[in-house]
Amino acid sequence: MDRPIIGGKSSPAAPGRNAPSVLRITVDEGGQGQRLDNFLIRLLKGVPKTHVYRVIRSGEVRVNKGRAAADTRLEIGDVVRVPPVRVAERAQDAPAPAREFPVVFEDDHLIAVNKPAGVAVHGGSGVSFGVIEQLRRSRPQAKFLELVHRLDKETSGLLLIAKKRSALTALQDQLRARQGDKVIGKSYAALVIGAWPASKKVIDVPLHKFLTGEGERRVRAVEAGHEEAKRSITLVKIARRWRDFTLLDVTIKTGRTHQIRVHLTHEGHPIVGDAKYGDFALNKSLARGEAHFERMFLHAQRLRFQHPASGEVIELEAPLPPECEAFLATLPT
């Protein structure tokens, strides 16, 4: 199965018929500054990380004809020799179909798309492909396309994708440092069940990520003294009220997995349509009702950041999807 070379150009060395062959990859700007181990892990998708580290330690991987450590930083023009590696056959996995998504902003450094609900951002955990795989398939000429951050599959809205490693690093650094930052920010529209109290504007409750007995990833609110607690801060403003629901403008100051969903449920007001942490009976009723609302009402509506090259403050906005607007129109005030 052909595999795209990310961050370099490959030259096979005398491949045998239907057998893995040595690859010699010349690093370009997509791989500049990347650690050797991370470079190989992305290149050799499907190969266990333990095997990647084994071939590095054995000296089978070479950089400019010499042995190299896992933490070696690659530079433009470096030639990486990758030994033959067999990947488990996955003939049943069809290649990701090419797909473009609504573009909100694009230049030579990054793309911002408006992701629809129900589409994963990347493959894995039972999902064959997501936005990034489909976008790479749609743009085969692109040397570098990487997710800057993630959105849950059920969440719609603004998603940033870097077109250069320098942009990826700069944007991720901004997002990691956003706590207390007045320039960087992500805000979401969330429709919750019940009347949100006007006095509740800050949720500062630690979260703990764990796996269920079935191997499903979950998050729960915990006490501050919990040994694996991670401080998590969510800011909440009321955007509009209905008789039985409240539309919230939610800003996250920390980027924990399922942070908004767990925080709002912890406060007694789960998000409409949340299949993991929500009101399951109400979700089923809404899906079967006149509105046929079958998604989670969480939408990444605004994003503000400094451009990784110019430093200019970029403010992006994605309006509520039509199905969310249509559902709101059915609610009694």
Query: Catalytic site residues?
Result: 152
Give the integer Cα–Cα distance in Å for 277 and 212.
Answer: 14
Asked if 194 and 187 touch (Cβ cutoff 8 Å), the reply is: no
Give the integer Cα–Cα distance in Å for 278 and 84.
Answer: 48
Helix (H), strand (E) at residue 327: helix 322-329
User: In degrees, to the nearest 5, what angle opens at C-alpha 217 toward C-alphas 213 and 222?
Assistant: 95
Exposure string for 193-218, b = 16+ CB within 10 A, e = fewer: beebeeeeeebebbbbeeeeeeeeee
In this structure, the chain runs to a length of: 333
Asked if 146 and 161 touch (Cβ cutoff 8 Å), the reply is: yes
Give the integer Cα–Cα distance in Å for 260 and 236.
Answer: 10
